[in-house]
Structure 1
Amino acid sequence: MTGARAEAAYSRSLAAFRTPTLGLLHGRQAPFVIAALSMLFTAERPSVPVADAHAEVAEALDELRSAGHDDDDRRIPSGSGREVCRTWAKQGWLVQQIDDDVEVYRLSAHAVEALEITGRTGGGRTRVSNSRVRTLLDAVERLADEAEADPVKRIARLTAERDAIDAEILRVQAGGTVTVDDEELYEEAENILHLARELPADFTRVAESLKAMQRDVVAHLRRDERPTGEVLREYLQRAKDVMQSTPEGRAFAGALRLIGDPERIDALAEQLHDLLAHPFARHLDPTQRAEFDAIGRRVELGVEEVLAAQRRASHVITGQVKTHDPLRDRQIDDLLRDVISGLHHWAQAAPSNATVDPVRSLPLIDLGRLRQTVGDVRPPGAPAPLTDADDVEYLEADSRSWGGPRYAELETYVAGLGDEFDLADAFAHAPDDTRRPVDLVGLLEIAHRNGMNETDGLSTVETLRPDGTTRRFAFVSVTARAAEEDDDD
Structure 2
Amino acid sequence: MSTATVEGAYEGALRAFKNPMLDLLHGTYAPFVVTMLALVFTAQRSQVPVADAHAEIDAALGRLRAAGYGEEGNAPLPVGSSRDLCRGWVRSGWLKRHVQDGVEVYQVSAHGVGALEVAGRVGGARTRVSESRVRTLLDAVEELAQDADPDVLSRIARLDAEIKERTAEVDRLERTGAVEPVGDDQLLEEAENVLHLARELPADFARVVESIKQVQRDVVTDLRQDVRPTGEVLREYLARGKDIMESTREGRAFAGALALIGRAEHIDQLAGNLRLILGHPFAEQLPAAQRRELHEIARRIERGVREVLHAQQTASHVITTQIRNHDPLRDREVDGLLRDVMSGFQRWMPTSRHKQPVEPMRRLPVADVGHLRQKADGLRPPAPPTPLEAWEMGAVPDDDSRAWGGPHYADLEKHLAGRPREDDGTVDVGAAFRSAPERMRRPVDLLGLLEIAHRHGMVETDEVVTVEAVRPDGTRRRFAFGGVAMRDEHEDEGGTTDD
Fold agreement, TM-score > 0.5:
yes
Is 1:120 the equivalent of 2:132? no
Note the C-alpha offset of 1:34: 1.1
8 Å Cα contact 1:43-1:297 kept in structure 2: no
Whether the 8 Å contact between 1:57 and 1:81 is mirrored in structure 2 is yes
Distance in 1 between residues matched to 2:412 and 2:279, nearest whole Å: 80
Distance 1:440 1:170, change over 3 A: farther
Instruction: Give the equivalent residue in structure 1 for 2:208.
Output: 206
Sequence identity percentage: 51
The equivalences for 1:182-197 within 5 A come to: 182-197=184-199
Q: Which has the larger radius of gyration?
A: 1
Q: For residues 304 and 34 of structure 2, what CA distance do their matches in structure 1 show? A: 21
Give the number of the structure with larger relative contact order, counting CA–CA contacts within 8 Å between residues 6 or more apart: 1
Q: Give the one of 318, 321, 331 matched to 1:319.
A: 321
Q: Equivalences for 1:79-118 in 2 at 5 Å?
A: 79-118=80-119
Q: Secondary structure at the match of 1:294?
A: helix
CA offsets 1:100-129 (integer angstroms, 9 cap, x no match): 111111100011011111111222111000
Name 2:160's counterpart in structure 1.
159
Alignment partner for residue 266 of structure 1, among 259, 265, 268? Answer: 268
Unaligned runs of 5+ in 2: 349-358, 373-398, 401-406, 468-482, 492-499
Relative to the length of structure 1, the TM-score reads: 0.75
Q: Name the CA distance, whole Å, in 2 between partners of 1:220 and 1:122.
A: 44
Partner of 2:420: 428
Alignment of 1:57-456 (within 5 A): 57-71=57-71, 73=74, 75-175=76-176, 177-179=178-180, 180-330=182-332, 360-365=364-369, 426-428=418-420, 436-438=431-433
Question: Which secondary structure state, in structure 1, belongs to the residue aligned with residue 176 of structure 2?
Answer: coil
- Measured after TM superposition, the shift of residue 7 of structure 1 is 3.3
Q: How far apart are 1:300 and its partner, in Å?
A: 0.7
Cα pair 1:96 1:103 within 8 Å, conserved: yes
CA distance in 2, matches of 1:282, 1:104: 38
User: What is the aligned partner in structure 2 of residue 398 from structure 1?
Assistant: none
CA distance change for structure 1 residues 409 and 357 in 2, over 3 Å: closer, same or farther?
closer
Assess, with a 3 A threshold, how the Cα gap between structure 1 residues 96 and 476 changes in structure 2: closer, same or farther. farther
**1:310-350 deviation digits (Å, cap 9, x = unpaired):** 1111111111101112244345556777x699989x99xxx
Instruction: Sort the Cα spacing of 1:129 and 1:475 in 2 relative to 1 into closer, same or farther, 3 A.
Output: farther
Secondary structure of 1:48's match? strand
State the aligned residue count. 417
Q: Report the alpha carbon displacement of residue 364 of structure 1 after superposing the two structures with TM.
A: 3.9
Alpha carbons 2:429, 2:484 under 8 Å: kept: no
What SS class does the counterpart of residue 309 from structure 2 fall into? helix
CA shift, 1:280, in A, is 1.9
Mapped partners of 1:73, 1:459: distance in 2: 90
Change (3 A) 1:61 1:332: closer
Aligned equivalents of 2:163, 2:189: Cα separation in 1 = 27
Question: CA separation of 1:13/1:235 partners in 2, compared to 1, >3 Å: closer, same or farther?
Answer: same
| Counterpart code for 2:26 | H
Corresponding residue SS for 1:97: strand
Shift of 1:306: 0.8
> What is the SS of the residue equivalent to 2:96?
strand
Quote the offset at 1:308 in angstroms: 1.1
* Cα distance in 1, alignment partners of residues 343 and 54 from structure 2: 42
Note closer, same or farther for the CA distance 1:263–1:409 as it changes in structure 2 (3 Å cut).
closer
Q: Distance in 1 between matches of 2:460 and 2:199?
A: 77
Give the letter for the 2:32 counterpart: F
Question: Which amino acid in structure 1 is aligned with residue 203 of structure 2?
Answer: A
Unaligned runs of 5+ in 1: 348-355, 369-387, 390-404, 415-422, 480-489
Deviation at 1:177, TM superposition (A): 3.0
Contact 1:427/1:461 (8 A) holds in 2: no
Amino acid at match of 1:361: P
Kept in 2, the 8 Å contact 1:186–1:280? The answer is yes
Counterpart contact for 2:419–2:432, Cα < 8 Å:
no
CA contact (8 A) 2:212 2:248 kept: yes
Q: CA RMSD in A?
A: 4.1
2:234 aligned counterpart, secondary structure: helix
Q: Quick one: distance in 2 between partners of 1:138 and 1:305? A: 30
TM-superposition CA deviations, 1:72-120 (whole Å, max 9, x none): 5562112222122111111111001111111111100011011111111
Bigger shift: residues 319-328 or 129-138: 319-328
The amino acid that maps onto 1:83 is D
Q: TM-score by structure 2 length?
A: 0.73
> Contact 2:95–2:107 (CA<8 Å) still a contact in 1?
yes
- The 1-side partners of 2:4 and 2:326 are apart by 50
Report the secondary structure of 2:279's partner residue: coil
1:428 and 1:461 in contact (8 A); partners too: no
